[in-house]
Chains A and B, each alone.
Chain A
Amino acid sequence: MLDQTSRRGALKCLAFGGAGTLFVLSGGVLAPLDLALASSRKTASAVGGIPLFLQISDTHIGFNKEANPDVAGTLKQTIGLVNAMPVRPALTIHTGDITHLSKPQEFDAAAQLMSGLNITELHTVPGEHDVTDGAGTEYFSRFGKASADKGYYSFDHSGVHFVGLVNVMNFKPNGLGGFGNEQLAWLKQDLEGRGSSTPIVVFAHMPMWTIYEPWGWGTGDADQATSYLKRFGSVTVLNGHIHQIVQKVEGNITFHTARSTAYPQPSAGVGPGPGPLKVASDLLPKMLGITSIKVLSHPLSASLNDTTLG
């Protein structure tokens, strides 16, 4: 499947953008994957039958404090970076905190900015900043259709089964996110009967494993969700919320949190809480970015590439 001559050529040149690591998870084993396929065909959105997807997260439109006084500007830069990719992703997944304060004008501005992406298909899940108006009226009036206002939904694309989950409307007493029984029951039924060789991509705002409980970095009932996913040969879990990359591999499941396009947050436990982290202005672009996901059906594997703005 990998052409030897283009592999040699590709190894001589790196992909677009800044630093990033590209690896393949196949049957639980990590192996490096070169970017030959990505750079060889510049216009196709699916290269050699390998669909590419984009994860963008925590755009926080409306934030204007010290850590980044211009979040619209960094989002525009991010969109420019995506539009310049040699292979256009087939769709975008936004893993939440689209806005900073759930305000209508923030949602409007975010929608306008996101329309600058040359990727037309957008799928979202809310972050806790998107639903501070209680029932999430503003968020659901704009993005509720896909899930009939429930927040959770699934769809298929290029042989990959995508599942969007909401874990910011059912918090646990200890501050961790939660899915709730109704959503978990839906998830179980949604996955039932699907072949275990179907590649699965799950996306939700809060981390679906416990990274740091004192700061609410986790989902209280995630273990139950994970138990339904265990039997599949390739599962990629995409989360946001913590504004930095943390990753875990458990069997055939890769858990990954993305960077924000707005501002970084401190590492777990460093400081009083998970607030905006001010860094030197030349360092900021290196801490913001996006993730692209490549999913293969044969052989069954998924690879993640994190790219920064600078």
Chain B
Amino acid sequence: MSPGHSMRNFFGALAVSLLLAVPPTSGSAAADAPQANAVVMKNFDFSPMSLTIKAGSSVTWKNLDGEPHTVTSVDGLFRSGALDQNDSFTFKFDKPGTYKYLCSIHPRMMAAIIVT
């Protein structure tokens, strides 16, 4: 075997072993990992209260409380309606800015999405 051929084999094997070494991610491997842009409603709070994302990506809210909540933007851009326990709502943010929102049933619950 020529040295070049061995080198290609080596790198080929290395590449294969690197791929095998990467632990599998749960769910599909999307370009914007959905888990990163997640907000939960838990114990009458939005968590996290402030989330920074890139323009063009989506946020998914999930209600973990026994009491319904809503995701209602202060400027009227998005509104989920009543979300029962385990219901979700997703909204895609195209433009940069700070988007304040609250729960219209419990308006003390306030949070924001910061889009860069």
- Residues of chain A whose beta carbon lies under 8 Å from any beta carbon of chain B: 65-67, 100-102, 128-129, 132-134, 171-175, 214, 216, 272-276
Contacts and interface: CB of A to CB of B under 8 A. Distances in A.
20 contacts: A65-B66, A100-B68, A101-B68, A102-B82, A132-B68, A132-B81, A132-B82, A171-B104, A172-B107, A173-B107, A175-B106, A175-B108, A175-B109, A216-B107, A272-B43, A272-B44, A273-B43, A273-B65, A274-B44, A274-B67
Given A101-B81, A274-B67, 18 more contacts: A65-B66, A66-B66, A100-B82, A100-B84, A101-B68, A101-B84, A102-B82, A129-B82, A132-B81, A134-B79, A171-B107, A175-B108, A214-B108, A216-B106, A216-B108, A272-B43, A274-B44, A274-B106
Interface in B40-68: 43-44, 65-68
B105 interface: yes
A275 B44 contact: yes
B104 A65 contact: no
A101 B82 contact: yes
Chain A interface, DSSP helix/strand/loop, else mixed: loop
B108 A132 contact: no
B85 interface: yes
A32 to B, nearest CB: 38
B82 A275 contact: no
Nearest to A134: B79
Across chains A and B, which 8 residue pairs bring their CB atoms closest together, nearest first?
Answer: A175-B108, A273-B44, A272-B43, A132-B82, A275-B67, A101-B82, A171-B107, A175-B107
A276 B108 contact: no
A214 B108 CA distance: 8
Nearest to A131: B104
Given A65-B85, A101-B82, A102-B82, A275 B66 contact: yes
Interface of B: 43-44, 65-68, 70, 79, 81-82, 84-85, 104-109
A92 to B, nearest CB: 25
Nearest to A67: B66
Contacts of A100: 68, 82, 84
> Which of B43, B82, B84 neighbours the largest number of chain A CB atoms within 10 Å of its CB?
B82
Contacts of A101: 68, 81-82, 84
Contacts of B68: 100-101, 129, 132
Nearest to B79: A134
A67 B44 CA distance: 17
B105 A128 contact: yes
A171 B44 CA distance: 17
Contact of B67 (A66, A132, A172, A276): A276
A45 B43 CA distance: 45
A234 B70 CA distance: 39
